[in-house]
Amino acid sequence: MSQLLNHDMSSEQPLRSVIPACYHRLLEEFKAFHLHSYDVKADTIIQDGGYSIILRFGDDLKHVKEKLFSHEMVTNLDTTVIDFFRDAGESCKQALIADYFKMMKL
């Protein structure tokens, strides 16, 4: 399901550029679901308390998962961050399957 974002998208930066190790871990977790880097758009917003990680996926990137993590959690790739990536991977997989079946009905 889509989640309304309450921030300006211009403040978002690619996760790949800001926290490369975190981005690579995201891709590792997505591989378990047979997903690739082009299946997700991963961005982040640097905030006072840490990083807000925003993942968009599905048809027209309309599905969004977003969560705020502390600097320490992201730097150490805490299990909370990894669990977020796994949950997003499962959601992305389900969204892509649903999008595929919608397309086949057309």
In a domain, 95, yes or no: yes
In a domain, 4, yes or no: no
| Rounded distance between C-alpha atoms, residue 45 and residue 9, angstroms | 9
In a domain, 22, yes or no: yes
Give the relative orientation of helices 20-31 and 79-105 as an angle to the nearest 10 degrees: 50
In a domain, 3, yes or no: no
pLDDT average, residue stretch 7-27: 90
pLDDT, tens digit, 9 for 90 and up, residues 54-105:
999 998 899 999 999 999 999 999 999 999 999 999 999 999 999 888 888 8
DSSP string, 2-14: -----S-GGG-EE
Q: Range of 34's domain?
A: 10-105
pLDDT, tens digit, 9 for 90 and up, residues 8-17:
667 999 999 9
According to DSSP, residue 58 is labeled S
**pTM, 2 dp:** 0.87
How many distinct structural domains can be found in the chain? 1
According to DSSP, residue 103 is labeled H
Of 86, 71, 99, 66, the closest CA to residue 25 belongs to 86
